[in-house]
Structure formats: C-alpha cells, structure tokens
Amino acid sequence: MPDLLDLSATFRRLIVIAALAALAVAPAPALAQQVVAVVNGDPITAFDIEQRTKLTQITTQKLPTRQEVMNELVEEKLKLQLLRRYQIEGVDAEVESAFANMARRARLTPQLLTEQLGKAGVMTGTLKSRIKAEITWSQIIRGKYQSSFQFSEKDIMSKIEASNPDAKLQIGYDYTLRPILFVVPRNSPDSARELRRKEAEALRARFQGCEEGIRIARGLPHVAVRSPTTRSSADLSQALREILEKTELGKLTTPEVTMQGIEVYALCRKEPSSAENTPEKRKVREELATEQFQANSKRFMKELRSTAMIEYR
C-alpha cells in the first residue's frame, strides 16, 4: 500500500502558500450547519467541503472539483463508520503518532504544524479525520483479505521475469553497523558543524577496524557511539545501498548531516541475506501487495456503497 499519510513534503511548502492564508477565517455558522449530504445518518456539511478542498489544494497543489471532494468525504464517512462494526483498538493513538511523525518529517513540532495548517485555513481535525479513516481502512482491508497478501516464490519470480526476462537477481546483504555521532548543539553556527565534519573525516582516516576504531571514537569529546544495528539491503534505499557497497569492511561511511550533528557508520559485518530477502524481491513483494490492496479496496468500497443510505441535498 502506498504511504497515504506521508504529506511532510507538502507541509514544507505551507509557508510559501501565502495566498491561502486569507482563507483562514472562522467558519460561518451557515456553512457549519448547512448539511449537503447524509451517509448512513452521518452529515457532511458545506464547511466539510470547504475544509477538504483547502487540504487537497495544499497536499496536491491542485484545485479539486466539488464532486471529487464530495466523493472523498462520502468514502471517508463509510471508512470511519467501520469502527462501529469492527473492534479496532488504539486508532486515536495511532492518529496522534502519525500526525507527530508527519510534523517531524516536515521539521516541525505538532504545534507548529497545527499553526501552519491554520494559516492555510485548515483545521487540524480535517487532516486527522483523513488520517484516521486511512488507518482504519488499511487495518480492515489487510485483515479482511489477509490471504490475498501472501505471495509465493513463484508469484514473485513470475513478476520479475515478466518485467525483465533477462534480469539477474541482485544479491542482498545484511549489514551490521555502529552509528557514531559527532554531536552539534542546536542553533550552532555553520562553522561549528563544519569543524565537526572535519573531525569525522579525520576519524575515517584513522579507522582501520571496528574493534580498535570504536575504542578511538569513544575517546573523542562529544562523540556518541551507539549500539550495533543490523540492516538488510532490502530495507535500504538505492542511495544507501550504494554507499554501503562502496564502504570497505571495517571502515566508516562518508559523514552525513543529521538533526543531532554529523553522523558516520562503521561497517562491522557484511553477510549475504537469505535468497528471499533481496532488494529486488522486496520491491516486487511490495508492488504485489499494493496491487492487491488497491483491488481489495475497490471491491470492498463498492460493497459498502451498494448497501449504504446516501442522501444528497
């Protein structure tokens, strides 16, 4: 399933969408109370239409038609109504966690994200309702059609061969890494960050193996050496795979800037992954899962619409 909740990139653009700020006014009582549709007894108001239109403009940079917004809100009502039928615990906590993660990826706090939404005329509840509907829907679809998400080796290989008959399967690796952080306090000048980067490069030159190199790193001021972590190449982006492929065993990766400072990774172990856990197979498995999710979603939504009482006014 595609990540429907990852809207962080769009929220980085909130500050530059100044034109929408003029729309950030309190809802008129007439809009808030004007019911334009009823879905199994749950109302959709003109204010709901207005709010979702603004949210869609922010997240897609396109102005949706009123009918598109109405269809989305009707389906959202049907998804949320499933909470009355199925026992799903912890959904509200998941919504808050997803909202906080969205803010973090946009380099904002939840409070600042709420403020930026407000400047664009969007109430936080509008976004959280959308998140809640998608979390609920994802859990129900994956539970209701669980068997359809089980893929055999034959299914995976057939898709690989169909897309590229001459392709050779890429070997996957399991990497054991030791993250090493050169701490840079927040609000430090660029010169401090550059100095720490040079210190990280100096450590790279001295680092000749994990045992001795980690000991040296621990002796440096304001450097944190974290516990070992094992990462499969199947779980890494292409860019990260390429970095680790170019890094010699017992050496450090090139320094990268993080929120906490300058970070490097010691490559302490590299072993071939199991035949099932390769980047290409993982990608195909995810593609098959997405296809199944979309097909099952379409089927179940059609079923819900056929039995729902939907009244347009």
pLDDT tens readout for residues 199-235: 999 999 999 999 999 999 999 999 999 999 998 877 7
Longest dimension (CA), the chain: 74
- State the burial class of residue 262 (Cβ atoms within 10 Å of its Cβ: 0-12, 13-18, 19+): buried
Query: What does the block give as tokens for 68?
Result: 């598109």
What's the sign of the alpha-carbon dihedral 15, 16, 22, 28?
A: negative
Outline where DSSP puts E strands in 113-228: 173-183, 223-225
More confident: 158 or 197: 197
pLDDT in tens, 63-75: 999 999 999 999 9
277 pLDDT band, cuts 50/70/90, is: low
What pLDDT score was predicted for residue 16?
38
pLDDT, tens digit (0-9, with 9 covering 90-100), for 73-90 = 999 999 999 998 888 889
HSE toward the beta carbon, residue 126, CA cutoff 13 A: 24
Taking 60 as the threshold, does the pLDDT of residue 24 lie above it? no
pLDDT of 20 higher than 60: no
pLDDT of residue 167 exceeding 70, the answer is: no
Mean pLDDT of the residues in the chain: 84
| Strand bridging mode 229-232 / 256-257 | unpaired
Domains with residue ranges and CATH for the chain: 8-148+292-312 (1.10.4030.10), 173-272 (3.10.50.40)
In the DSSP assignment, the letter for residue 86 is S
User: Cα–Cα distance between 269 and 264 in angstroms, integer?
Assistant: 15
Paired tokens of 274: 């199991």
Residue with tokens 């009918």: 67
Average pLDDT over residues 143-158: 77
CB 156 within 8 A of CB 284: yes
Look at residues 265, 272, 227, 224 and name the one whose alpha carbon lies nearest to residue 246: 265
Residue position matching structure tokens 């990139």: 9
Cα gap 45→226, rounded to integer Å? 52
